[in-house]
Chains A and B, each alone.
Chain A
Amino acid sequence: MAGRTLYDKIWQSHSVGTLPTGQTQLFIGLHLIHEITTAPAFDMLRETGMDIPFRDRTFATVDHIVPTDLRQRPFLDPEAEELISVLERNVAQFGVEFFGVQSANQGIVHVIGPQLGLTQPGMTLACGDSHTSTHGAFGTLAFGIGTSQVRDVLATQTLAMDRLKVRRINITGELGTGVYPKDVILYIIRRLGVSGGKGFAYEYGGPVVDRMNMEERMTVCNMSIEGGALVGYVNPDQTTFDYLKGRPYAPKSEAFERATSYWKSVASDADAHYDDVVTYDGKEIEPTVTWGINPGQSVGISEKLPKPEESADPESVKKAYEHMGWKPGAPILGTPVNVAFIGSCTNGRLADLRAAAKIAKGRKVDPSVRALVVPGSAEVKKLAEREGLDKIFAEAGFQWREAGCSMCLAMNPDKLNGREISASSSNRNFIGRQGSPQGRTLLMSPVMVAAAALNGKVVDAREYE
């Protein structure tokens, strides 16, 4: 009999039973909530008089709408103030642990879960946010859910779920200098398509992934949903255990040893059966930039923009050109940039800021560019300041901000104006995503964003290596 994948093992140990619909009732080990997708779920608990049976398995923070400049209350935006107040009342009424605006643990849910040691291998983890797959970097079965599902997790700590297939994605060899995990995941999405992962969990592995640190693995897992996969994960290994040791919510001393043996046991067996396997050579991957209106529409930095008639989906490519205003066959190099955004749950961690700061150090942002650095959490901000990264960015002309989602989805005051073009380390280049219906987004690694900010246009950041 073939061995089992991590997905199979966690699915089995968390299955409560089969529902009359044929779905599995799946236990959710960790539930993270934030201000945007939860209010109607709490309303429903109140209306029906239900409690939260496992309330110590839910943790709350604020990230999506918090301002990243002026943090005093009430916020300038009365609607933002109201929504945060609703969450504050809900967590107080139901007794949910909360990392609020002023907490040292505040930050983007997908940054603080790992940072606090809440996210651990062998768990199921759900959050009302599609980038919950980030936590899969730990060998966690983690996925985004809607508000009705948030309600179900609060009321029952379970979800009605259909089982996924598992696709193993091997990245072999090694990455070239100046090629980052962001380039790896953009490459994977480009190759497999934005809906290619539908019905699958993605298991990332191979020598390139094995060598990645936890922050790098999180960047890869984060964008699984942009490839259509609800779940993306990496098998836990010594890198994972070393990261978790000593974190506030990680098990301590002897319990840590016992936890490690459990964590090792959930990794996919060497002879595990996969529904599909794809392999890419790491050295084929270039610094990658999106040119269109979905994360699969990208090119390597040395390439030219595709011709619609050569594409598998000419209509979508035409729609992208219509919005972006480029010409087919033009180089991506030299594309002008008006705004530079470094941050988000994809690339707002300390390693991302360090890599970008290395390029910014002693240089100046082009005067035509508005450049922002938004740390993923209050802790990331503190650690970065301890290293002086804030000063490097400020001296170069980047604005140094408080933690939050910021211009990734522009629900706070950080937005594009009009037809501005943004070089962004975030995860979505959808039309209107960064706050202006006419705005344009080029996704790339934080290092590429920093280089674009200095030049006012897309450049090959390897020039700075």
Chain B
Amino acid sequence: MGDIVKITKIAGTAVPIRGNDIDTDRIIPARYLIEPTFARMGNYPFFDERFDGSGKKKDHPFNDPEYKGASILFVNKNFGCGSSREHAPQALYRFGIHAIVGESFAAIFAGNCTMMGLPVVVVGAKEIAQLMKSVEENPRTEYTVDLESKTLSYGDQKIAIDLPDTYRTALTQGYWDSTGLLRGNLDAVKKTAAKLPYITGFGS
């Protein structure tokens, strides 16, 4: 638990990954989960889609020099479905992605992202199509995700974004790193526990 860090705005260039139901096995193959820390996860996002068996680069937005340095990821529906592995958002974050904009996200993935200070925000199907087109046409486009005004802006465009109020508050007020907040209530936690029959051994 360090100092409280409030996350309100993420600005930068973007990279699109097209497709629905992109699961966390695709975001990070399970074999990298064998490492005992997250330190090297930034080397692995979409590894098997970016490299062939001999390590040769394949055609993939994360390999494309046009998108180098992008900090905002554009995705479609149900991104991050499957395994609860936090290695998936860790891999994206450590690769340089500091906000994800998509049509929808899987529940555990969205929670994991929020808890590490990586905002995931939702836009409509039409809007994501527009955003993907804009970045593909001009990868140098600068985008700003503003959590306080719930907007995404670029050029003269402004698009409404959505995310659960609880996640927005956690990020903008600096509660996303929740351990300190939760641990501050340990007395109340003990009182709740003492009322649960299975904690007290079903005492008569």
- Residue from A120, A146, A160, A254 whose CB has the most chain B CB atoms within 10 Å: A146
Is B149 an interface residue, CB under 8 A from the partner?
Answer: no
Contact stretch, chosen from B17-25, B63-71, B151-159:
B17-25
Is A123 an interface residue, CB under 8 A from the partner?
Answer: yes
Min CB distance B194 to A, Å, is 10
Q: Are B183 and A19 neighbours in the complex by a CB distance under 8 Å?
A: no
The 0/1 profile, CB within 8 Å of B marked 1, for residues 35-54 of chain A is 01101100110001010011
**Contact partners of B189 in chain A: CB under 8 A:** 16, 25, 27, 53, 156-158
In the complex, the chain A residue whose C-beta lies closest to that of B25 is A430
A21-B169, A27-B193, A431-B25 given; A43·B37 CB < 8 A: yes
**Contact partners of B26 in chain A: CB under 8 A:** 430-432
Q: Are B33 and A20 neighbours in the complex by a CB distance under 8 Å?
A: no
**Contact partners of A32 in chain B: CB under 8 A:** none
**Contact partners of B86 in chain A: CB under 8 A:** 37, 146-148
**Contact partners of A57 in chain B: CB under 8 A:** 199
Q: Residue B33 contacts which of A14, A122, A226, A411 (CB distance < 8 angstroms)?
A: A411
Contact stretch, chosen from A93-101, A191-199, A204-212, A267-275:
A191-199
* CA of A43 to CA of B37, assembled, Å: 9
Is A443 an interface residue, CB under 8 A from the partner?
Answer: no
- Residues of A176-203 whose CB lies within 8 A of B: 194-195, 198-199
Q: Are A319 and B29 neighbours in the complex by a CB distance under 8 Å?
A: no
* CA of A162 to CA of B197, assembled, Å: 24
In the complex, the chain A residue whose C-beta lies closest to that of B195 is A13
- Residues of B24-58 whose CB lies within 8 A of A: 25-26, 29-31, 33-38, 48, 53
**Contact partners of A82 in chain B: CB under 8 A:** 36
Q: Are A65 and B107 neighbours in the complex by a CB distance under 8 Å?
A: no
A29-B199, A37-B85, A228-B78 given; A198·B107 CB < 8 A: yes
**Contact partners of B106 in chain A: CB under 8 A:** 195, 198, 228
Is A230 an interface residue, CB under 8 A from the partner?
Answer: yes
Q: Are A230 and B108 neighbours in the complex by a CB distance under 8 Å?
A: yes
Min CB distance B43 to A, Å, is 15
Q: Are A258 and B182 neighbours in the complex by a CB distance under 8 Å?
A: no
* CA of A319 to CA of B26, assembled, Å: 13
The 0/1 profile, CB within 8 Å of B marked 1, for residues 4-43 of chain A is 0000000001111101111101010100000011011001
Q: Are B178 and A319 neighbours in the complex by a CB distance under 8 Å?
A: no
- Residues of A387-412 whose CB lies within 8 A of B: 409-411
Is A351 an interface residue, CB under 8 A from the partner?
Answer: no
* CA of A394 to CA of B48, assembled, Å: 35
Min CB distance A145 to B, Å, is 6
**Contact partners of A122 in chain B: CB under 8 A:** 197-198
Q: Are B202 and A255 neighbours in the complex by a CB distance under 8 Å?
A: yes
Min CB distance A29 to B, Å, is 6
**Contact partners of A149 in chain B: CB under 8 A:** 111-112, 115
The 0/1 profile, CB within 8 Å of B marked 1, for residues 112-133 of chain A is 0000000010110000111000
**Contact partners of B48 in chain A: CB under 8 A:** 431-432, 437
A123-B198, A144-B84 given; A411·B173 CB < 8 A: no
Q: Are A53 and B34 neighbours in the complex by a CB distance under 8 Å?
A: no
Q: Are B23 and A430 neighbours in the complex by a CB distance under 8 Å?
A: yes
* CA of A253 to CA of B37, assembled, Å: 45
In the complex, the chain B residue whose C-beta lies closest to that of A145 is B84
A13-B196, A130-B84, A156-B189 given; A22·B169 CB < 8 A: yes
**Contact partners of A21 in chain B: CB under 8 A:** 166-167, 169-170, 173, 175
A130-B82, A152-B182, A428-B25 given; A79·B34 CB < 8 A: yes
**Contact partners of B33 in chain A: CB under 8 A:** 36-37, 64, 411
**Contact partners of A152 in chain B: CB under 8 A:** 178-179, 182
* CA of A437 to CA of B53, assembled, Å: 9
13 A-B pairs within 8 Å (CB atoms) are namely A20-B181, A29-B196, A29-B199, A40-B38, A77-B34, A146-B84, A156-B182, A160-B166, A160-B175, A198-B106, A262-B202, A316-B21, A435-B30
When A and B form their complex, which 9 residue pairs have the shortest distance between CB atoms, in order from nearest?
A146-B112, A146-B86, A437-B48, A195-B78, A144-B84, A148-B115, A130-B84, A156-B182, A147-B86
